[in-house]
Structure 1
């Protein structure tokens, strides 16, 4: 039986992930690197550079490919013998030069190292820096070109975007360093909307990971995107769920149940099991708030949960955090987590209210149902592509989102799926669209306040 054939478009992130796959089950078809999605869509018609000053033949080939925009021709040649296209955005960090004819050239470490970047810069009309509105606007157009080409070649359903956060520190605590002037935290902030565009606007299947560590012993050296082994293991496991080894295109379709994946399986700095922690113990009479967080959750959303609890209950709350590795949890994991919660909160308030944001929706639903909680409040819910939550009709869910945010980030199909999901698992829950972010938070906090007031009243009876 032939191996699963993988086409890599991206950086060492995807290429090193491929190396973590079982080599007898996966075969590398081709590798296109150092090529921004922008320059791939509109390369210069002709721009001569003396590439002989670049010593590595591989690097010469990658730079020449970037100058000629080789991505789509290469994809076209391999379309019929490709089972999986792996994509990552790490090489976008270098930005692009806009040339006088309206084409683009990707900046790269090879051009910088060979002293050729200044020559291109002098000939260009402007430099578009990653993360700026100007760069993102052109990237959006280029990303639509990618989606159109994937559709034409019938590769869209066989494409997977790997979206790890840059690692701020290595497994042994060293700072991972900057790249092209970006600290990891800044790069992660800027990268978010690029990944959101690919996943939510263009509908490309995406695997994210927030909790990453770099490796001081990495073969390419220490960098925020040269990861420790567990990160590659995480992505390799995600790939195996989408496209098992020795599987052809017929095996690739809708992703497996989102509730079945639990993240990295090896230790270093990452853990697979949900972490349950009592972070504040107020009193036995006070109600308990369970904050459900995921490692793929955007940092601002995780901070938002803490702020909401502080604004609603002050110090008179028992607070427990449940942290899930990745965006998903299975039913067995939810039941195990609920059992841990019961033990941890044995001496605190028995009335537990759940609070989550973003992609914590399904995890919180599962745990709250297993825990027989009465209510879940979710802010800015992230909508799964495919999910089933069997046999759950126990939790009242109150979801809050900004209409503009909802329409910008999610397809109509995803919205419909989530509304159906909420209708299936709730008794009386609600989905409320507000006009602005302040209204979203205010109404969500009002819902939390009402829930906690009811819980306190129940505790006194």
Structure 2
């Protein structure tokens, strides 16, 4: 029986899905869209020319339109497993003059669109008090909406603390100079809050938490190796099997 998966997260989940095997359909993949941005009102302040990469253009356009909830409503009836990871919260968000928020992604910055918007556009960095206030509010609304859509029992949240070394023990460069331990502590608080809302949070074992030195995009704190991908794939398969059994 075919199993339907939707991912709201990052390459952490997407890379693992590629190893999951036959019998699984990826209904939708929403990436580079902070929960703050996703639960914000869409903005009309950021028109511009398409980016050179089709995938980057799609993700930027989707973030500007705050597309996540629309995607969830479209696919809710067909989803067997909704996979969430928080890695794409890492760049923080930009507060726009119209009261909306967008993810401070590489795609947004490189597009030059922010430079065309007059007025203050402060960046709200992750692991700050202001970010936590905004993120907690967005998370409360998001998970309440998932419950209303009947997705609570079908959702798994992956807690994937970042790696400090590669499989060879070589140190991995910190993300934008932010200490990895600090980032892991913050995302740990986010996952604890999600768990307090009654949602399933799965903790990646420490012994598989290393960066792949041969990752196609280079070694990074969140570019995990084969063992981590296998663990994530196993969590998705397990959740999908439970969902399929509940169909019967």
Same fold (TM over 0.5): yes
- State the alpha-carbon separation in 2 of the partners of residues 80 and 127 from structure 1: 36
CA contact (8 A) 2:159 2:188 kept: no
Secondary structure of the equivalent of 1:7? Answer: strand
Who is 1:205 aligned against?
A: 200
Who is 2:105 aligned against?
A: 108
CA contact (8 A) 2:81 2:239 kept: no
Who is 1:264 aligned against?
A: none
Deviation at 1:172, TM superposition (A): 1.4
The change in CA–CA distance for 1:78 and 1:231 in structure 2 (over 3 A counts) is same
Structure 2 runs not aligned, ≥5 long: none
Q: Please, which of 127, 131, 143 is the counterpart of residue 139 of structure 2?
A: 143
**Which is further off, 94-103 or 153-162?**
94-103
Deviation at 1:185, TM superposition (A): 1.8
Deviation at 1:16, TM superposition (A): 1.1
- State the alpha-carbon separation in 2 of the partners of residues 199 and 102 from structure 1: 29
- State the alpha-carbon separation in 2 of the partners of residues 116 and 170 from structure 1: 36
CA contact (8 A) 2:34 2:88 kept: yes
Q: Please, which of 64, 69, 83 is the counterpart of residue 61 of structure 2?
A: 64
Who is 2:73 aligned against?
A: 76
- State the alpha-carbon separation in 1 of the partners of residues 156 and 23 from structure 2: 18
- State the alpha-carbon separation in 1 of the partners of residues 247 and 215 from structure 2: 33
Who is 2:14 aligned against?
A: 15
Query: How many residues in Structure 1 have an aligned counterpart in Structure 2?
Result: 246
Deviation at 1:109, TM superposition (A): 1.5
- State the alpha-carbon separation in 2 of the partners of residues 221 and 98 from structure 1: 31
Q: Deviations over 1:146-187 (max 9, x none)?
A: 112111211111111111110001101222212233232221
> Which protein has greater RCO, CA pairs closer than 8 Å, 6+ apart?
2
* Structure index of larger Rg: 1
Who is 1:162 aligned against?
A: 158
Secondary structure of the equivalent of 1:243? Answer: helix
Q: Please, which of 196, 210, 232 is the counterpart of residue 235 of structure 1?
A: 232
Q: Deviations over 1:401-442 (max 9, x none)?
A: xxxxxxxxxxxxxxxxxxxxxxxxxxxxxxxxxxxxxxxxxx
- State the alpha-carbon separation in 2 of the partners of residues 34 and 81 from structure 1: 23
The change in CA–CA distance for 1:175 and 1:112 in structure 2 (over 3 A counts) is farther
Who is 2:35 aligned against?
A: 37
Secondary structure of the equivalent of 1:244? Answer: helix
CA contact (8 A) 1:93 1:180 kept: no
CA contact (8 A) 1:97 1:124 kept: no
Who is 1:28 aligned against?
A: 26
Secondary structure of the equivalent of 2:186? Answer: helix
Who is 2:93 aligned against?
A: 96
The change in CA–CA distance for 1:163 and 1:123 in structure 2 (over 3 A counts) is farther
CA contact (8 A) 1:218 1:226 kept: yes
Who is 2:190 aligned against?
A: 194
Who is 1:4 aligned against?
A: 3
Deviation at 1:117, TM superposition (A): 4.8
Query: 1:365-380 maps to which residues of 2 (within 5 A)?
Result: none
Structure 1 runs not aligned, ≥5 long: 253-461
CA contact (8 A) 1:4 1:83 kept: yes
CA contact (8 A) 2:16 2:233 kept: yes
Who is 1:55 aligned against?
A: 52
Deviation at 1:242, TM superposition (A): 2.4
1:177 equivalent to 2:173? Answer: yes
Q: Deviations over 1:62-90 (max 9, x none)?
A: 00000000000011111111111000111
The change in CA–CA distance for 1:123 and 1:49 in structure 2 (over 3 A counts) is farther
- State the alpha-carbon separation in 2 of the partners of residues 164 and 48 from structure 1: 32
1:134 equivalent to 2:130? Answer: yes
Secondary structure of the equivalent of 2:38? Answer: helix
CA contact (8 A) 2:13 2:232 kept: no
Secondary structure of the equivalent of 2:56? Answer: helix
The change in CA–CA distance for 1:81 and 1:48 in structure 2 (over 3 A counts) is same
Q: Deviations over 1:249-284 (max 9, x none)?
A: 7269xxxxxxxxxxxxxxxxxxxxxxxxxxxxxxxx
